[in-house]
Structures are given as C-alpha cells and as structure tokens.
Homo-oligomer: A and B are copies of this chain.
C-alpha cells in the first residue's frame, strides 16, 4: 500500500520491505478535523487512503487561498520533516481514511536507501511544480481558463493514479472551494460553470463531472493534451 510511492522511482524488494516495515497509524478524519495546522511542527506525514483533502492558507482579512487538492494515494505534509513549522492548513474535503507515518523513521530509511530518498524528493518536486502551475493559473488566466485548467488537472491526476478511467470522474469540491482555489468568488464560479454546461463542454451530476468536449476544455484551460484524449 505504502509502496505506491514507487511510482516515482524504481524500488527494489529490500526497499519495499523497508517501507512496509515503517510504523504507522490509521486514522479516520472528518470534514472539520485538521490533518495539519499552520504553525504546527509536523511529526507525521500522511498518505491518503480514500477521500479528498485540500491545503489552504488564510489571509489577514479572512480570505482563504486553497493551495492544492489531494486525491487518494497522495502523500501529504512531506515538507514538514525539516523542523520548519508547517506553512499551511490541511483538511479533508469530506470523510477521509489516512495513514499517518512519523517523519523520523521515514527520513532514516530515506538516508539508508537512496532510491527512497530520491522518490520522496521527486514527490516533493512534483507537488512544488503543481503549486507553480496554480500560481500561473490564478495570476494569468481569466475565470473560464482557471476553471478549465483545474478540471484538466484533476482529470489528469485521477487518470494517472488509476482512479478514473473515462471522461467522467469525481468532482467533490463546492463552488466556494473552487472559488478559493482559483481566486474567484463562488458566485462567479457558478456563472462560469453554468456557461460550460450550457455550451456543452461538461455535464455535472451531483458530485461528479462528465467532460463532453476535451478539446475545447484543454484548449481553454491551456493544458497539454497529454493523457486526456484517451476518452
């Protein structure tokens, strides 16, 4: 299970064994539990087993900026290991099952098995790159572009993680959360999503979304076509 981290690097059997021998703790968390708080010293990192989570920061005026959404299989709170206090809040979108792994033994085996260290480093790099992508999204695209881009990113990541296999997938965040992720108001998010529906780009049902027009969506969202066409 923990071994799905192997995506980032070729791990041999001894490395898998070391990972599986790590101490851990299972946790069931609810929507208003915190996985981590800003300013905490993090002692654990967290592997999402089921459900969704998101990281956010608060501004002085109460505004909230969501920094990332996390799906099943993501490894959260990696950046905590270095005694720096944590820089953002981490909460589940809804109920979540998670594996808490203390940092110290993880760092120990990372030092012992360079491939594991490399995989963790790559994991951190990817999440850093994603953050840069979001900054580009919020800073330089208009409302429609931001939402299309976010949709494409979620589709791509869910497909890569093998969670979905088609043009429809879970889209469990509220429009207010989408707004806080894209730097828009929930009202404006609503209007944009409505237009996407009206123009036949997507169809939404409850907490899922069905992409009807990949081409336009990825063009408006300024995404490399990549895996998406598959559908």
Contacts and interface: CB of A to CB of B under 8 A. Distances in A.
Given A65-B139, A138-B139, 12 more contacts: A57-B133, A59-B222, A60-B222, A65-B136, A81-B125, A82-B122, A84-B129, A87-B125, A88-B132, A128-B128, A134-B135, A139-B183
Given A84-B122, A141-B59, A79 B128 contact: yes
Interface string A105-124: 00100110010011001101
A67 interface: yes
A132 B87 contact: yes
A174 B136 CA distance: 19
A84 B80 CA distance: 22
A65 B135 CA distance: 7
A16 interface: no
Q: Give this chain's copy count.
A: 2
Contacts of A87: 125, 128-129, 132-133
A64 interface: yes
Interface residues of A, number: 47
Contacts of A14: none
A203 interface: no
Interface string A56-83: 0101110111010000000000011111
A63 B128 CA distance: 20
A126 interface: yes
A230 B148 CA distance: 45
A55 B126 CA distance: 16
10 contacts: A8-B82, A9-B82, A81-B118, A81-B125, A82-B122, A107-B118, A124-B124, A131-B135, A138-B138, A138-B183
Given A61-B222, A82-B122, A122-B83, A138 B135 contact: yes
Nearest to A111: B114
